[in-house]
Structure 1
Amino acid sequence: MALFRVPTAQAPVTVASGDGGRHRARFHALTVSQVRPLTKDAVEVSFAVPLELVDDYAYLPGQYVALRVHLEGAEVRRSYSLCRPPIPADEGGTTLSVAVKRDEGGLFSTWAQTELTPGFEIDVMSPQGTFTSGLAELAGAHVVGIAAGSGITPMMALARSLLTASDSTRFTLLYTNKATSDVMFLEDLADLKDRYPTRLVLHHVLSREQRTAPLMSGRLDEERLRTIFGALILPDTVDEWFLCGPFALVDLCREVLADLGVPREHVRFELFTTGDAPAERGSRKVEVRQGEKAVRIEINLDGVSSTVESPVDAHESVLNAALRVRPDAPFACSGGVCGTCRARVVDGSVTMTENYALEPDEIERGYVLTCQSHPTSDRLVVDYDV
């Protein structure tokens, strides 16, 4: 699943300095070991992780990686969810896999479908993300995943891992697509169902293909969703929810579940859109003219401090300013979705225009998404290393 910009604004969030943290992810060049067709428009891409980098690529089911390549003379970054549960390392290392679905006009996704072959090297960022299970006890737990299109990608890793972890865990998947030919991992899901016939429940909803059950035919709108929650998936029996798809569907599911009394903390979600990612950051030339009011931004990254000035009238994001002096500053989606550009405000303050990646406690501790943050103080210090 690709994580891209969600074209929906939300109220600005004001963030001042705080503390707490985790170390940021870093890129390493990995070799493509396999490219497996999933549908006519989707492939699974697997990477070989050498033994010396196994610890760097340890991950939890539901996390994602960012990929970085140069296409048509420009750097391109895209984020994709890991579609397989972690594989134990052997003497030669291990592997990780993502699924790439072609978007109309998408530069990276089209290249991956038509040009990418085993042996190619791609810069892969070590895993990130919080779309992971928070259940302390899996025995007897019932987990539900609702996915649309390529939103199935993290569900594959989650379902396999949860069903394997306990012989009494149940997983229900509600998966919506246009037609059967668009269903990614169709055979893999069938194999998983054969392996766990009583503990895995699959509900395929097709919007443009007639199914035997009328409830499973048509768009997954509010009426259909409420009917499903009243007859097939009873919210009172569910311990944890995972939602992955376009903003409209995820938002609808969250609102309906909240209306049915499901606590927000039991619902985890991840967003994507079907378009290609926005223009790469750092391409806009910004200069401070003599006498122009500017913000002084200090960036701590990899133990090195760098300083850049940003004109107040330019309304430049912290990330865009940082990239002018630190091209290695981490980012992927640039839309407030993936969280790769996360940093902590050490001094000063910012406003965030969008945030779909940080939890409330992270914001309280001073963490921001630099791609969505704009300085509101004369001096700003952000730290990527904590």
Structure 2
Amino acid sequence: MARFHPLPVAAVDRLTDDAVALTLTVPPELREEFRHAPGQHLALRRTIDGTEIRRTYSICSPAPAADGPHTLRIGVRLVEGGAFSTYALKEIAVGDELEVMTPAGRFTLEPAPALYAAIVGGSGITPVLSIVTTLLASEPRARFCLLRSDRTAASTMFLEEVADLKDRYPERFQLVTVVSREEQQAGLPSGRLDRERLTELLPALLPTAAVAGWFLCGPFGLVQGAEQALRELGVPRTRIHEEIFHVDPAPVVTTAIPAHSTVTARLDGRGGTWPVREGESVLDAVLRNRPDAPYACKGGVCGTCRAFLVSGEVRMDRNFALEPEETAAGYVLACQSRPATERVEVDFDR
């Protein structure tokens, strides 16, 4: 069960003009709870003027040793008008305590002796840095190709960390960089990595059919274009893993909720049944009665509120977090689900 714990800030490292890395100390009694797979993320919460806000940030540090993580490191990029990212870049200091949820997310890789690849944009490097660092250190027969896109060289997050990987694993780590807003002296020509360009570029970089897993992370447009390019190149959808860092706000939903609709939810071993008010999602109805229900972004992106639909029907406004296999198996995003039947039952514990 996801829970929040206060973790002290051990370091604040400036990565670029608009991005920092925060290192959090994990006390011995919480190391098992904060054990994470490479690629998972943390939700952080803060209360501003009586309103709680939550934001999700990927862990960039590698998977921990047997005794669990002593520290956790996340990357935070400034978002224009962002309540939490502005706070992180301008106010957070060593010694501060942050409210941090235990790790979540399924954008992960179990190390195996195979070839893997990632296409990332901007801060999308964050979870992939954890994935590739863990893979190359733990599996000597694994190889990884990283294709990363950034606006400029100066805006590139974790530049030194990625360069260090290239130095440590020159035979097993292939790095290709593209910038969209300045010319490079070497490497690929500048410009966006869209579907057309990737369809032409990828077969020249590596044997696409031999890649055991593709990891796409970054803005919605880049991830969507990369997926389309891979499918055109014949890559099975089961080998494509996606995590989107930003999408535009969802449009206002006018779908009517059936009269007298109720939601029954099981959470942390306890259940309850409550009415759903007009305009509410399943998560909203549960939160009014169980404020410990798990969520982070409420935008259909992070997947923290994933629940199993036991009975009834729901309509999901949008879904950028669940794989087709998950939805086919009966999982939904509670933050995006609205009752389509008078009775809906979900289970957050499955």
Q: Normalising to structure 1: TM-score of the pair?
A: 0.83
- Counterpart of 1:79 (choices 24, 33, 56) is 56
Q: How many residues align?
A: 344
- The aligned amino acid for 2:287 is L
- Counterpart of 1:309 (choices 275, 286, 309) is 275
Q: CA deviation at 1:380?
A: 2.0
Q: CA deviation at 1:356?
A: 2.2
Give matches, 1:128-143, under 5 Å: 128-133=104-109, 138-139=112-113, 141-143=114-116
Helix, strand or coil for the counterpart of 1:337? coil
In the alignment, which residue of structure 2 is the partner of 1:217? 190
Give matches, 1:318-329, under 5 Å: 318-329=282-293
- Residue 257 of structure 1 pairs with residue 230 of structure 2: yes
1:23-79 C-alpha deviation (Å, 9 max, x unpaired): x32222211111111111111111111111111111110111111111243211001
Q: CA deviation at 1:256?
A: 0.9
Alpha-carbon separation, structure 2, partners of 1:56 and 1:111: 26
- Residue 376 of structure 1 pairs with residue 340 of structure 2: yes
Helix, strand or coil for the counterpart of 1:227? helix
- Residue 168 of structure 1 pairs with residue 171 of structure 2: no
- Residue 66 of structure 1 pairs with residue 43 of structure 2: yes
CA contact (8 A) 1:103 1:274 kept: no
- The aligned amino acid for 1:66 is A
In the alignment, which residue of structure 1 is the partner of 2:313? 349
In structure 2, relative to structure 1, the CA distance for the partners of 1:125 and 1:237 (3 Å cut) is same
- Counterpart of 1:48 (choices 21, 25, 33) is 25
In the alignment, which residue of structure 1 is the partner of 2:324? 360
1:160-200 C-alpha deviation (Å, 9 max, x unpaired): 11111222321111110111100001111111111111211
How large is the Cα RMSD of the aligned pairs? 2.2
In the alignment, which residue of structure 2 is the partner of 1:183? 156
Alpha-carbon separation, structure 2, partners of 1:365 and 1:263: 19
In the alignment, which residue of structure 1 is the partner of 2:93? 117
- The aligned amino acid for 1:43 is V
In structure 2, relative to structure 1, the CA distance for the partners of 1:230 and 1:347 (3 Å cut) is closer
- The aligned amino acid for 2:295 is F
Alpha-carbon separation, structure 2, partners of 1:223 and 1:359: 24
- Residue 331 of structure 1 pairs with residue 295 of structure 2: yes
Alpha-carbon separation, structure 2, partners of 1:362 and 1:204: 33
Alpha-carbon separation, structure 1, partners of 2:333 and 2:247: 22
In the alignment, which residue of structure 2 is the partner of 1:8? none
The unaligned stretches of length 5 or more in structure 2 are 251-256
- Residue 208 of structure 1 pairs with residue 184 of structure 2: no
Give matches, 1:2-41, under 5 Å: 24-41=1-18
Helix, strand or coil for the counterpart of 2:188? helix
Alpha-carbon separation, structure 2, partners of 1:230 and 1:346: 43
CA contact (8 A) 2:194 2:226 kept: no
In the alignment, which residue of structure 1 is the partner of 2:75? 99
Q: CA deviation at 1:295?
A: 0.9
Q: CA deviation at 1:213?
A: 4.5
CA contact (8 A) 1:28 1:124 kept: yes
Q: CA deviation at 1:202?
A: 1.2
Alpha-carbon separation, structure 2, partners of 1:190 and 1:274: 29
Alpha-carbon separation, structure 1, partners of 2:342 and 2:131: 45
The unaligned stretches of length 5 or more in structure 1 are 1-23, 279-287
Alpha-carbon separation, structure 2, partners of 1:34 and 1:149: 22
Q: CA deviation at 1:87?
A: 2.8
Helix, strand or coil for the counterpart of 1:182? coil
Give matches, 1:268-307, under 5 Å: 268-273=241-246, 293-307=259-273
In the alignment, which residue of structure 1 is the partner of 2:253? none
